[in-house]
Amino acid sequence: MIRASFPGPDDITRVELSNGIIVLARSNFNSPSVTVSGYIQVGALFDPDGKLGLADFVSASLMRGTEKRGFQEIYEALESVGASLSFNGGTHATSFGGQSLIEDLSLLLELLSDGLRLPVFPETQVERLRAQLLTGLTLRAQDTRDMADLTFDQLVYKDHPYRHPDDGFPETIQAITRQDLADFHKQHYGPRDMVVAVVGAVAPEEAVDKVRTALGDWTNPDQPRPPQLPSVTPLEELVTQRVVIPGKIQADIAMGAVGPARKCEEFFEASLGNSIFGQFGMMGRIGGAVREKAGLAYYAYSQLSAGVGPGPWSVSAGVNPENIEKAIELIRAEIRRFVTELVEEDELTDSKANFIGRLPLAMESNGGVAGALLNLERYDLGLDYYLRYADLVNAVTPEGVLAAASKYLHPDRLAVAAAGP
């Protein structure tokens, strides 16, 4: 049997280019393919109030035409060799991801560079994209799960920029002009603190050279610093909101509170606690209470979305509309238990074993490894993080879990959103 070999200082190549781009590379010669992924420090936090969705709109436009190629030429180049590349707007960052056979890595990087640096926002493409974005928002407005999540964010992040959806609203997408897109790109896109991970059948030095060739001469002296996040005001009471979507058969619930940021010192306590609470096995205690015991839902689980800022710590469940109140009360009862009682040693041992044991599985594909490398950089975890990971997990105690749970969750101070008929 072979030994697990997690990415570490010995086999991750990390190079900072002169323009501030961080390149991370790791080889995997088991398949003749390569993954390129990463992010730039531009996101929805830069969106003006009346033009929510602008950063996302810009990211979706990058492949719609560049100074070198039109829309069909870009995709002809990619698809004819079975490669893929896409950009995705987020709150703090715009991410990108692509995959190709190894012989096409240079092409992939060239298209990435063109998209980031040379987009031209053709009028017809912008309008076509706008129609697609608006249709997406129509679908969102009729999706019980999406609307429960959106409403939850608005309740829990009242007065905080996280209340805004990254993809905006129909009226704000309508308000964005082609010039807005071009201006936003010119002002905000730049190489500083951009991160690119290359994982696949290529030597790390060669990967770095190829990234340097494609992006090494990119500059933007005016690139702004990431905006400062205001602090979040914690909820003082139970706030609830129902969204009615006629014609639906099932309702979705999203409830919870603001959780930790990834860099918070109690992250591992919260994360293991969340596993016990609503992940482990068939979705932890939440799944046990709502699905297994009460038979109320096909899915019921919790999630901790710790990111650059304080992400939500929430529970999701899809239930028959008649059972909304019953499910909410079951979930609140589990939250009450979670924040007042120590988790069992056995429960914690199980979740620790799961966290440590599943790490090799998360690194199975090039995409998995690339994601792991990006995490190191995004949260300053250090190149030896995956080698230290088991120790970090094992250091968590039931007392630590309780402290983290009770710091962030309270059964009477929750945002509760439900969307359904």
- Please report, as residue ranges, which positions from 358 to 417 form the binding site for other proteins (by CB under 8 A): 358-361, 363-367
Q: Which of 72, 179, 228, 231 forms a contact with other proteins (CB under 8 A)?
A: 72
111 belongs to the binding site for other proteins (CB under 8 A): no
Q: Which residues contact 84 (CB under 8 A, 6 or more apart)?
A: 78, 98, 99, 100
Instruction: Using CB under 8 A, pick the residue from 19, 88, 142, 154 that binds other proteins.
Output: 142
**Which CB sits closer to other proteins, 212 or 389?**
389
Strands laid side by side in the 84-89 sheet: 13-16, 22-27, 195-200, 33-40, 94-101, 84-89
Binding to other proteins (CB under 8 A) within 162-201 occurs at: none
Cβ within 8 Å of residue 223, ≥6 positions away: 188, 189, 190, 191, 192
- Nearest Cα neighbor of 52 from 155, 184, 140 is 184
Q: Directed axis angle between helix 398-408 and helix 345-357, to 10°?
A: 90
Q: Which of 16, 123, 128, 177 binds other proteins (CB under 8 A)?
A: 128
**Residue 99 binds other proteins (CB under 8 A):** yes
Q: Which of 10, 67, 80, 228 binds other proteins (CB under 8 A)?
A: 80
Q: Is 132 in the site for other proteins (CB under 8 A)?
A: yes
Nearer to other proteins, 20 or 368 (CB): 368
Among 222, 231, 246, 391, binds other proteins (CB under 8 A): 246
Q: Does 135 bind other proteins (CB under 8 A)?
A: yes
Query: Is 100 a binder of other proteins (CB under 8 A)?
Result: yes
136-144 LR contacts (CB < 8 Å, sep 24+): 136/167, 137/167, 137/168, 137/169, 137/170, 137/173, 138/170, 140/167, 141/245, 142/245, 142/248, 144/245, 144/248, 144/250, 144/251, 144/252, 144/318, 144/419, 144/420
Query: Can residue 320 be called a binding residue for other proteins (CB under 8 A)?
Result: yes
Q: Which is nearer to other proteins, 172 or 351 (CB)?
A: 351
Of the listed pieces 181-189, 216-224, 312-320, 375-383, which binds other proteins according to CB under 8 A? 312-320
Binding residue for other proteins, selected from 162, 280, 313, 338, defined by CB under 8 A: 280
Residue 140: how many CA atoms within 13 Å on its side-chain side? 17
Q: Establish if 88 lies at the interface with other proteins (CB under 8 A).
A: no
Task: Kindly state the number of chain residues that form the binding site for other proteins, as judged by CB under 8 A.
Answer: 74
Residue 2, CA distances (Å) to 5, 30, 259, 360, 362 in order:
9, 14, 38, 12, 17
Considering only residues 32 to 61 of the shown chain, the ones binding other proteins according to CB under 8 A are 32-33
Member of 20, 216, 288, 371 binding other proteins (CB under 8 A) = 288
Say whether residue 266 binds other proteins (CB under 8 A). no
Q: In whole angstroms, how close is the CB of 327 to other proteins at the nearest point?
A: 10
Q: Which is nearer to other proteins, 103 or 206 (CB)?
A: 103
Does 319 bind other proteins (CB under 8 A)? Our answer is: yes
β-strands 22-27, 195-200: how paired? parallel
413: amino acid identity, one letter:
R
Residue 370 neighbours by CB under 8 Å, 6+ apart: 35, 36, 37, 97, 197, 198, 199
In this structure, what DSSP letter does residue 66 have?
B
CB of 372 to other proteins, least distance (A): 13
Lookup: tokens for 65: 């035409």
Q: Applying CB under 8 A, does 228 fall inside the site for other proteins?
A: no
